[in-house]
Amino acid sequence: MTSSPRPPHIGDPPDPTGGTPALGGEPARGYLLDNARTEAGERFVWLAELFDGVTRGHFDRLGVGAGSRCWEVGAGGRSVPEALAAAVGPTGYVLATDIDPSWLEAGGGYEVRRHDVAADPPPEPGTFDLVHARLVLVHVPDRARALATMAAALRPGGWLLVEDADTALQPLACLDDSGPAQRRANRLRDAVRELLARRGADLRYGRTLPRALREAGLVDVAASGSFPVGGPACDRLEAATIRHVRGELLAAGLADDAEIDAHLAAIQAGELDLTLAPLISAWGRRPAEYPPALG
Ligand SMILES: C[S@@+](CC[C@H](N)C(=O)[O-])C[C@H]1O[C@@H](n2cnc3c(N)ncnc32)[C@H](O)[C@@H]1O
């Protein structure tokens, strides 16, 4: 006798193929929050509002300035490449890459290329003063290879800055779990995390970054973390994210229409004080001798 498979539940181990089990079809693969949808563009606006200040602070501290050469990996929207282009000026160079660069603007003071950081070779190896990726590697199943590609693009002494969420460190949407709307928000946050995990995202990646940078051969490694607590940008980001993945949540049986509509209405009412997972920013420098000599 054969038993039919039960529907997926929150808490099931991730599918080892990295795909979302679909009913009667191939598992969905690849980046969950893909750039083809208009909600991706909204998400970039609110991610910029929430995190660009943190990111620009790291750029300044790591010495990005006139004449620097920078590679922005998985750039998504325009704000970070534009900030880098303004910092490096006409004597510098900024390359912005993405698996789907459609939200980037050719002629915006930076060069745009389609590039898969986990599959393609580094552009112009050994030449960049700064290589940066924010909220990218957590989604890339072969993230060790992606890190090696980014490290190989650095000139000796150049800095790699990687910023990624650690959604397991602070998994709640509402820290103040004060009523049914807040508890529903937390359940839906779990459901979105489940979708991400089934696509191969590592929900504990942020905390591993310092070790990952050392293992990639970098030196002078350090890290810090930050996250916003409430406010309109958190609300707008959450609404765009939920609308983006609504179909996937329903197809996976992780939420129903009534629950999603009630959550969107509560966000609109501004009553949730939504928060995010901490963004861990980690940086390390390429030594003069790279890869490091053995023995
Ligand atoms: C969550 S968004 C973050 C965008 C931007 N870095 C930011 O912080 O606002 C993730 C971005 O990484 C890109 N991405 C995902 N997998 C990638 C890969 N293998 N290589 C390059 N870019 C990738 C996506 O297309 C998307 O633009």
Residue 6 confidence (pLDDT):
28
Q: Is the CB of 271 under 6 A from ligand 1?
A: no
Domain ranges of the chain: 33-285
Q: Is the CB of 139 under 6 A from ligand 1?
A: yes
Residue 288 confidence (pLDDT):
85
Tell how far the Cα of 260 is from the centroid of ligand 1, in angstroms: 25
Q: How far is CA 171 from CA 165, 199, 203, in A?
A: 10, 18, 9
Distance of alpha carbon 77 from the chain centroid: 12
Output the pTM of the full model.
0.89
What tokens does 111 get? 């060069």
Burial class of 198 by CB neighbour count within 10 A (0 to 12, 13 to 18, 19+): buried
Fold for 33-285, please state it.
Rossmann fold (3.40.50)
Burial class of 35 by CB neighbour count within 10 A (0 to 12, 13 to 18, 19+): buried
Q: Is the CB of 75 under 6 A from ligand 1?
A: yes
Whose Cα sits closest to atom 26 in ligand 1?
A: 76
Tell how far the Cα of 98 is from the centroid of ligand 1, in angstroms: 6
What whole-number distance in Å separates Cα of residue 216 and Cα of residue 287? 11
Block means of pLDDT (10 residues each) for the chain, 295 residues, are 30 33 48 86 95 98 98 97 97 97 91 96 96 95 94 97 94 94 97 93 94 96 94 96 96 97 96 94 90 51
Give residue for tokens 């990687």.
162
Q: Is the CB of 276 under 6 A from ligand 1?
A: no
Whose Cα sits closest to atom 1 in ligand 1?
A: 135
Residue 106 confidence (pLDDT):
83
Q: Is the CB of 117 under 6 A from ligand 1?
A: yes
Kindly report the backbone phi and psi dihedral angles of residue 222, in degrees, each rounded to the nearest multiple of 5, phi listed first: -155, 170
Residue 292 confidence (pLDDT):
54
Residue 14 confidence (pLDDT):
31
Residue 29 confidence (pLDDT):
64
Residue 7 confidence (pLDDT):
27
For the CA of 33, the closest atom of ligand 1 is 1
Whose Cα sits closest to atom 24 in ligand 1?
A: 74
Nearest to 81, CA basis, from 96, 99, 102: 96
Residue 34 confidence (pLDDT):
86
What whole-number distance in Å separates Cα of residue 51 and Cα of residue 84? 15
